[in-house]
Chain A
Amino acid sequence: MRRGIALALAVAGGAFASPPRFVDYLYIEANEGGSSGGHAALRLGDETYHFQHEAPGVLRLRRDGSEHFRYAYGVLENRTMHLSRVAVPDATYAELRQRFSERYLIERKFFAERDALSDDRVLLERLLAHRRGDTEATIRLRGAGFFFPEDGGTSPSAAALTLLRRVKEAYGADAVDRRIEQVRRELMRLTPGSTDSPTPDVPAQGYPQFAYPFSSRYRDLLAALAALEALARALPLRADACRAAVVEALDPVEHRALAAFADRLEEQLVRLLRSERPDWGYPFLVGMARLAALRASERTGRLMLLDAFPPGAEVVPWRALREYRDIVPDLLAEAREELTRARARLRSGVPIEERDYADVEAAANRLLELDAAANGQRDLRVSAELLPSRDAPWAALVLPDVPEDELAVDLARAKTRARRFAAQLERRYAYDLFSHNCVSEIFATVGVSGAGLGGRLDGRKALDFIPFVSARAVDRCWNVAQRTTLWSYRRSQLAEMYRREEPLHVWLRECNTLTSTIYRRNADDSFFLLFTDDAVALRPLFGAVNVAGALGAGAVGFALLPFDRGHLLASSVRGALFSLPELAFVNLRKGSFAYVRRADRPLDASPGAAGTPGERL
């Protein structure tokens, strides 16, 4: 069901030199928890920008694929969205996109600098410990985990031996040894003081220009050293770093595509060794590991893959996965489908590039992980993005050529710098419900470009900081040509049922969490009995039932305290709290979903949907 209050798409023929572009303001209805005030976002084609309140109390600009945003908020979070569409000339669209993109890149750089300064401290602590004789002190080295620590007794890798031979042909027989020496000297010369600067300031505007952090330089050089060592000794992949995909064998076309890619990768790695990139070590480690996996695929005729899950990937415990065992076949089917799509590129006849291979690698890793978790009854690793980055502890630290006292002083300075910078950043990006929230920052970023959208809006004025009110302000002040409602997952499913079945029967069955066939209990949701998103007139009454039900469940939860570690009690208290606004007609209780089968997802028929028409989200 889709209720569009469609106004005419009033685009005067002569107003735009080229076909108009569209800017969509999205108001996302509330759900319980951190989203109980609603949310707002700006969709620019297949990118959606939104400001999210995150720990430790900062407001971060996030950029999601529009299709993913709709799936995460509209389906999983089960929140209805209201879209206000403005047609703008190309120039306005480009300026808006540039503003949001630049702000996103700037923020990203600030937070990366914060992490790097924190890493300076960690690294200096390790170096100081090493200097004081603690040889156990190690740092984790990204990419090194494919080769280190070495598996005992394995013979050299044929792929690495060929690569080594080609490097020697290109740069001379002692090229690798010379490079090792050079990197080692650079590492010893590198001192914390050489990149020392007072606490960097968070500039008011523009892309920040910070000095390259000591820890980044050090890690880059150490990764280069690890890469050179792996190459010089033609180290094979660790046994646990490479797995065979759980799919049918490669067909001849795929086989040829991968072999050709492996040949190109080999040439690229030879060139990478002479790159001016300061961080060439990590891509070399990954490239060399992929080369070994690709050659193994060629040899075996099966898709062999690096483990692409990042270190410390989020884990869904087996006991949680077990609760969803009925949907595991659907998860597996969807993962298989994603892999088939990615593999289609191998059969296209066009030479594949790194990203094409990375897509296959990621999709196959997800499938493999799911299969292993489901069949091996073990925890499931998950990650929104996959890129091989397996790390390894590195104990062979090269100590900077500075006295111990100086290192200690550098450490003290690094601590101060990291603390001060983090504090500056937290002040700059502090979330404030009234003046610095998801609405105010969209309007602030739109800023003067708003002229192309209509009147200028300020999210700090009157009640415009409330997402719901802001949508009205947008409709009033911007040149909104079309308004559309994108129904939440449950509401769209209900609409389907009302069309097919007897409405009263559907309503009675689906109005509550106990007999609903659409909703299944999600651990993220606090206790509630009745859905109130589609029951406006009855909302206070339903809210009262929810409060009473939650209090009753709380009493049971209190009794169960020694047995369930307070889960039911906590859920009930939250449930009662989040049901209170319903007494005043404010809807929060709509439930959410951990996963929705692809066949049950709504079609993404929103105007300007990024995907293929008719595709499910």
Chain B
Amino acid sequence: MLARRVRSLVVSSMVALLTGCSVSVSSWSLSKSVRSSSRSSDSSSSSSPGAAERAYRDDVSDYTQAYVKSSGGGGDLGNFRADLARLAEEHGITNWEENPSTYTAIGEGLAKAGVSSAALMAYKQNLSGGDASKAQLIQQGYDSGR
């Protein structure tokens, strides 16, 4: 009886010790003092040129696809814009409306989500704010994403 208890205590201690999936270094703080942790910075010592741009475009495109698929095309654009803003900030961009890649990537995401030409027109109109060049970028992204 006692032996079984001791054994189970030892086994549970070993299991408790061997838990995983966390980081053990909390003080990599010193390294944070000189470098960023993301791939969204081209100035990072070993990022390949254009990696930051690609990362942003991928994220916006994936987000658009996920959002449109889940909303069935009827989502609130205010919400869409707010989430897009948070995403852009992770890439060092506060004014995403002035970044041409945003619109190309939205077009790509719309294509991947399989929206119809009619729905595309509506998105172009609502997201471009009447700016023909932005609508054109969405169209370009859509065409390249198909």
Contacts and interface: CB of A to CB of B under 8 A. Distances in A.
B93 A370 contact: no
Contacts, number: 287
B27 A524 contact: yes
B34 interface: yes
A530 interface: no
A366 B112 CA distance: 39
Interface string B50-87: 01100110110011011101110001111101110111
Nearest to A612: B46
Given A46-B51, A581-B18, A206 B59 contact: no
Contacts of A385: 36-38, 90, 92
A234 B50 CA distance: 37
Contacts of B69: 206-207
A67 B44 contact: yes
A216 B82 contact: yes
A105 B30 contact: no
A65 B92 contact: no
A464 interface: no
B66 A34 contact: no
Nearest to A526: B24
Q: How large is the interface on A (under 10, 10 to 19, 20 to 34, 35 or more residues)?
A: 35 or more
A611 interface: yes
A65 B70 contact: no
Contact of A354 (B66, B67, B92): B92
Given A106-B66, A338-B44, A594 B19 contact: no
B3 interface: no
A275 B46 contact: no
Interface string B6-40: 00000001110111111111111111111111111
B66 A76 contact: no
Nearest to A274: B129
B133 interface: no
B79 A209 contact: yes
A597 B29 CA distance: 14
Contacts of A580: 13-14, 17
A23 interface: no
A191 B34 CA distance: 44
Contacts of A592: 24-25
A34 B20 contact: yes
By CB atoms of chain A within 10 A, which of B39, B47, B89 has the most?
A: B39
A66 interface: yes
A337 B45 contact: yes
A58 to B, nearest CB: 11
Nearest to B35: A338
A52 B22 contact: yes
Nearest to B41: A359
A377 B84 CA distance: 40
Contact of B129 (A276, A327, A604): A276
A438 B21 CA distance: 6
Interface in A290-326: 314, 316, 320-321, 324
A517 B66 CA distance: 51
B26 A524 contact: yes
A492 interface: no
A616 B45 CA distance: 8
Given A52-B23, A209-B75, A387-B89, A105 B66 contact: yes
B81 to A, nearest CB: 5
B65 A98 contact: yes
A467 B20 CA distance: 9
B143 interface: no
A594 B28 contact: yes
Interface stretch (A175-183, A240-248, A277-285, A478-486): A277-285
A34 B79 contact: no
Contacts of A37: 18-21
Contacts of A212: 76, 78-79, 82
Contacts of A36: 17-20, 24
Interface in A333-368: 334-335, 337-338, 341-342, 345, 353-356, 358-360, 362-363, 366
A287 interface: yes
B95 interface: yes
Contacts of B58: 97, 101
B65 A283 contact: no
A470 to B, nearest CB: 11
Contacts of B85: 277, 279, 283
Contacts of B36: 68, 362, 384-386
26 contacts: A36-B18, A37-B20, A65-B40, A66-B39, A76-B25, A207-B63, A210-B79, A211-B79, A212-B82, A268-B95, A282-B94, A287-B94, A316-B27, A316-B33, A331-B34, A341-B43, A354-B93, A370-B33, A384-B37, A385-B37, A385-B92, A433-B20, A523-B27, A592-B25, A611-B45, A611-B47
4 residue pairs, one from A and one from B, having the closest CB atoms: A611-B46, A37-B20, A34-B22, A65-B39
Interface of A: 30-39, 46-47, 51-54, 59, 64-68, 71-73, 76-77, 97-98, 101-102, 105-106, 109, 112, 206-212, 216, 220, 268, 271-272, 275-279, 282-283, 286-287, 314, 316, 320-321, 324, 327, 331, 334-335, 337-338, 341-342, 345, 353-356, 358-360, 362-363, 366, 369-370, 380, 382-387, 431, 433, 437-438, 467, 522-524, 577-578, 580-581, 586, 592-595, 598, 604, 609-612, 615-617
Given A209-B76, A277-B85, A355-B56, 20 more contacts: A30-B18, A30-B20, A37-B21, A39-B20, A52-B22, A53-B22, A68-B36, A112-B83, A206-B66, A212-B78, A316-B33, A353-B99, A354-B94, A362-B92, A366-B33, A370-B33, A382-B30, A382-B32, A384-B36, A594-B25
